[in-house]
């Protein structure tokens, strides 16, 4: 068509300059250089590169790009030839082939038109739609096959919500556990005071041991909190820094992806427009004047694809690092709990296990030959107990108590089952057995019958009556 004319059709370059050049490419094993050609006779006055395929001699060389015009092959002009003829000319050459071209000096910003922006918005909307809904609405779109990063983003959002709830629950749990540890410490302080002020040596030693056990529980609780706190810190770092950074990277990737898909859709629409006009026998103006608008979109699509590939690679690397960070958070801080271990087994040896009753009791004296002397042996009545033989107050204790009474100081009596009243100085206020936390089910083998004030009357021998009746 154009070869029969005596004059050249003026090309509409849209203000885009071109620079001539040539490049020598070494063909691959399949006798290809890795480009696709468009344009040519009989509708377009020039031939141009439509696409440069990845990992091909042309792509590895990087000299030619999509949108560049081909002017010759091995010094032979291709003016007025079709794209099929030019492809055969390239295939006939074995080994190295020299391509003469006009480099298109295109600015990608020139291709970012309002149509491309609207297509990006449409792709964002279609991304959250099902295919059936998009087809029913008549929305044309370009779909990227085998793109699993969108699903990874959804999984990341669900994981972030899960870890956020886990973090809040763990904080509340640790706060409650800390308060429980302080409660154990307070119990230890109370039992320590009771043990120090108890006149019976066995009972005093038992209370001191019990106080040490409660304080040990508090110490182990603080140690547990110190162990879990770094893990919680790492989880907060993973949740508040790593996941938002990955989410931001994925959003940038989606923006580049939608831009690339918009250019792909634009190229498809321009191809359909060209084919429909050729079918009607009416070539387009842009085609007959060099098709520079189409070549500009081809160049923008190639550069958008390069950015998309690089961004996709970065996202995959960041997701891999995020998975590694996730593994470190939940593996390095986790330590196995001893198999079959219980909390009393991990406490200091302040209490020993008796062979006869298999209960946790105070350590037996070194002179004890049988375990029954340190254990609580229940009788037929659940509320009646058999106790170790109590010791009498020493002479010095009786003398100090008598001296205190003679000086007029207020003293209070304590009654032990099976023994006469002893003297105890300095009890801090009226104590009762219920206030002291003593029950018949106490596993320590020690039961305290304190003396308190009820109704303004001081109880002395009333404790013995209560003991004989089995009441608390």
pLDDT score for 132: 73
What sign does the dihedral 316-318-324-327 (CA atoms) show?
A: negative
pLDDT score for 468: 38
Residue range 349-373, pLDDT digits in tens: 444 444 444 434 444 444 333 333 4
CB 319 within 8 A of CB 152: yes
The residue written with tokens 């089952």 in the block is: 417
Residue range 219-258, pLDDT digits in tens: 888 888 888 888 888 888 878 887 888 788 888 888 888 8
Length of the chain: 472
pLDDT score for 300: 92
Q: What is the domain partition of the chain in residue ranges? A: 18-105, 149-331, 395-469
Q: Which residues pair with 423 in a beta bridge?
A: 413
pLDDT score for 232: 83
Q: What is the architecture, at CATH level 2, of domain 18-105?
A: Roll (2.30)
Q: Which residues pair with 97 in a beta bridge?
A: 25
Burial of 45 (0-12, 13-18, 19+ CB in 10 A): buried
Q: Could you write out the three-class secondary structure of the chain?
A: CCCCCCCCCCCCCCCCCEEEEEEEEECCCCCCCCEEEEEECCCCCCEEEEEECCCCHHHHHCCCCCCCEEEEECCEECCCCEHHHHHHHHHHCCCEEEEEEEEECCCHHHHCCHHHHHHHHHHHHHHCCCHHHHHHCCCCCCCCCCCCHHHHHHHHHHHHHHHHHHHHHHHHHHHHHHHHHHHHHHHHHHHHHHHHCCCCHHHHHHHHHHHHHHHHHHHHHHHHHHHHHHHHHHHHHHHHHHHHHHHHHHHHHHHHHHHHHHHHHHHHHHHHHHHHHHHHCCCCHHHHCCCHHHHHHHHHHHHHHHHHHHHHHHHHHHHHHHHHHHHHHHHCCCCCCCCCCCHHHHCCCCCEECCCCCCEECCCCCCCCCHHHCCCEECCCCCCEECCCCCCCCHHHHHHHHHHHHCCCCCEEECCCCCCCEEECCCCCCCCCCCCCCCCCCCCCCCCCCCCEECCEECCCHHHHHHHHCCC
Burial of 169 (0-12, 13-18, 19+ CB in 10 A): exposed
Q: Low-confidence residues of the chain, pLDDT below 70?
A: 1-10, 128, 134-135, 137-147, 325-472
Q: How far is Cα 19 from Cα 24, in angstroms, rounded to an integer?
A: 17
pLDDT score for 322: 73
What sign does the dihedral 326-328-334-336 (CA atoms) show?
A: positive
pLDDT score for 301: 92
| Residues whose CB is less than 8 angstroms from the CB of residue 469 and which lie 6 or more positions away in sequence, other chains included | none
The residue written with tokens 């886990």 in the block is: 166
Q: Give the strand pairing for 18-26 and 96-104.
A: antiparallel
Q: Find, among 268, 263, 332, the residue nearest to 302 by Cα.
A: 263
pLDDT score for 426: 39
CB 451 within 8 A of CB 438: no
pLDDT score for 50: 92
CA separation, residue 192 to residues 208, 257, 368 (Å): 5, 70, 25
CB 118 within 8 A of CB 139: no
Q: Give the strand pairing for 96-104 and 76-77.
A: unpaired
CATH of domain 149-331: 1.20.1270.60
The residue written with tokens 């302040």 in the block is: 350
């Amino acid at each position: 068509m154009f070869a029969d004319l005596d004059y050249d059709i003026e090309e509409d370059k849209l203000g885009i300059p071109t620079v001539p050049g040539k490049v020598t490419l070494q063909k691959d094993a399949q006798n290809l250089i890795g480009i696709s050609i468009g344009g040519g006779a009989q509708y377009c006055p020039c031939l141009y590169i439509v696409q440069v395929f990845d990992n091909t001699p042309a792509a590895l060389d990087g000299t030619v790009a999509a949108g560049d015009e081909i002017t010759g092959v091995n010094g032979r002009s291709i003016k007025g030839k079709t794209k099929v003829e030019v492809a055969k000319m390239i295939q006939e050459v074995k080994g190295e082939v020299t391509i003469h071209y006009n480099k298109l000096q295109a600015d990608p910003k020139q291709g970012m038109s309002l149509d491309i922006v609207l297509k990006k918005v449409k792709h964002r909307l279609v991304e959250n739609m099902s295919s059936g809904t998009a087809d029913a609405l008549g929305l044309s779109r370009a779909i990227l096959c085998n793109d699993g990063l969108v699903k990874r983003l959804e999984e990341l959002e669900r994981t972030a919500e899960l870890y956020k709830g886990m973090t809040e629950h763990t904080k509340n749990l640790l706060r409650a556990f800390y308060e429980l540890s302080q409660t154990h410490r307070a119990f230890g302080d109370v039992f320590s005071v009771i043990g120090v002020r108890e006149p019976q040596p066995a009972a005093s030693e038992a209370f001191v041991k019990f106080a040490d056990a409660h304080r040990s529980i508090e110490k182990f609780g603080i140690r547990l909190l110190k162990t879990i706190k770094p893990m919680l810190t790492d989880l907060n770092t993973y949740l508040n820094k790593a996941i938002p950074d990955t989410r931001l990277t994925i959003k940038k990737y989606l923006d580049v992806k939608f831009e690339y898909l918009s250019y792909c859709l634009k190229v498809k629409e321009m191809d359909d427009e060209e084919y429909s006009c050729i079918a009607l026998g009416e070539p387009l103006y842009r085609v007959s004047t060099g098709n520079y608008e189409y070549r500009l979109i081809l160049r923008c699509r190639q550069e958008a694809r390069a950015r998309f590939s690089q961004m996709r690679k970065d996202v995959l690397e960041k997701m891999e690092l995020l998975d590694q960070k996730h593994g470190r958070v939940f593996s390095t801080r986790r330590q196995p709990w001893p198999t079959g271990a219980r909390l009393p087994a991990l406490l200091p040896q302040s209490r020993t296990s008796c062979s006869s009753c298999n209960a946790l009791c105070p350590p037996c004296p070194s002179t004890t030959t049988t375990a029954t002397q340190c254990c609580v042996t229940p009788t037929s009545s659940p509320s009646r107990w058999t106790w170790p033989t109590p010791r009498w107050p020493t002479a010095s204790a009786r003398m100090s108590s008598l001296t205190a009474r003679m000086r007029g100081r207020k003293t209070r009596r304590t009654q032990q089952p099976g023994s006469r009243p002893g003297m105890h100085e300095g009890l801090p206020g009226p104590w009762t057995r219920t206030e002291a936390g003593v029950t018949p089910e106490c596993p320590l083998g020690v039961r305290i019958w304190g003396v308190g004030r009820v109704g303004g009357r001081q109880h002395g021998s009333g404790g013995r009556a209560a003991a004989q009746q089995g009441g608390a």
